[in-house]
Amino acid sequence: MEQKEYTTIYVVSDSLGETAELVAKAASVQFNSYVGEIKKFPFIIDEEQIDEIIEEAFKQKCVIAFTIVTPELRDYLVKTAERWDIPVVDIMSPLLAAMEKTTHKQPRGEAGLNRKLDEDYFKKVEAIEFAVKYDDGKDPRGVKKADVVLVGVSRTSKTPLSMYLANRNLKVANIPIVPEVEPPKELYEVPTKKLIGLTTDPLKLNQIRQERLRALGLDENANYANMERILSELDYAEAIMKKLGCPVIDVSSRAVEETAAIIFEIIRGGK
């Protein structure tokens, strides 16, 4: 009796099954029309599900390709398939074994870690988009949605800090403090634990602002970099921060990373 050609590949995974599916597709094109379908079974988490897949695969004369990282479930699939004489291909184990040999570390054996990494990526993208949208007080309504709200006068690293923290998955809004402009009312509706004030040394700020004016091709002696003006802004900002009751960080001699580390301590309740 002529043996029936395998026309279906069952892809079984304790996660999305994308890896096994890609390998199955790459293999199937080598057999022209002999492989007619790739059927995916994602998020397999117990033996009962495997039993159902094995029974169906036996009836359909299928090949099973799988990526299951949980050792117990993986072994159960392999042994059950052997009993039913179903060809199985373990896509992950050979590579895991090789990496275990070279790193001398055990694999974590947790399903869906790749998906979790993707979720982290999208959270980071969302946080960066948030920081851009609510940068420099563009829309004060954002402070209520933020994980952290930075306040300070111009050139106290509010924007670089916002972007740095966004890359750590924090949604950050920042509000500039300007004597001629009353802070938005939303700022006073934010829990104090989310507020961080930024200040700096007036001489350092004077130097930074002069450099900024030169970079823009403007007169470095403009009011923006005037020492009297700077002192007035810092005094006003200090009064606002005191009214808000928020912690204040002096960024004069700190890199963005150092200031960010302090902010993480504060929001985690370290201070």
Q: In what order do the strands lie in the sheet with 248-250?
A: 172-176, 148-152, 195-199, 248-250
- Shared domain for 29 and 46, answered yes or no, is yes
Q: Are 13 and 53 in contact (CB under 8 A)?
A: no
- Shared domain for 106 and 140, answered yes or no, is no
- Shared domain for 150 and 252, answered yes or no, is yes
Structural domain contains residue 2: no
What is the per-residue pLDDT across 57-116, written as a single tens digit (0 to 9) for each?
998 888 999 999 888 999 999 999 999 999 999 998 888 888 888 888 887 766 666 666
Annotated binding site: 152-159
Domains identified in the chain, total number:
2
Tokens 């080598």 belong to: 30
Q: Does residue 86 sit in helix, strand or coil? A: coil
Q: What CA–CA distance (Å, rounded) separates 137 from 181?
A: 11
- Shared domain for 21 and 123, answered yes or no, is no
Annotated binding site for ADP: 152-159
Q: Does residue 172 sit in helix, strand or coil? A: strand
Tokens 């091709």 belong to: 217
Tokens matching residue 143 = 């402070």
Structural domain contains residue 251: yes
Structural domain contains residue 1: no
Bridge-based pairing of strands 172-176 and 148-152 is parallel
The CATH number covering residue 38 comes to: 3.40.50
- Shared domain for 207 and 146, answered yes or no, is yes
What is the per-residue pLDDT across 185-215, written as a single tens digit (0 to 9) for each?
999 999 999 999 999 999 999 999 999 999 8
All residues at 6 or more sequence positions from 204 whose CB lies less than 8 Å from its CB, including other chains: 252, 253
Whether pTM > 0.75 for this model: the answer is no
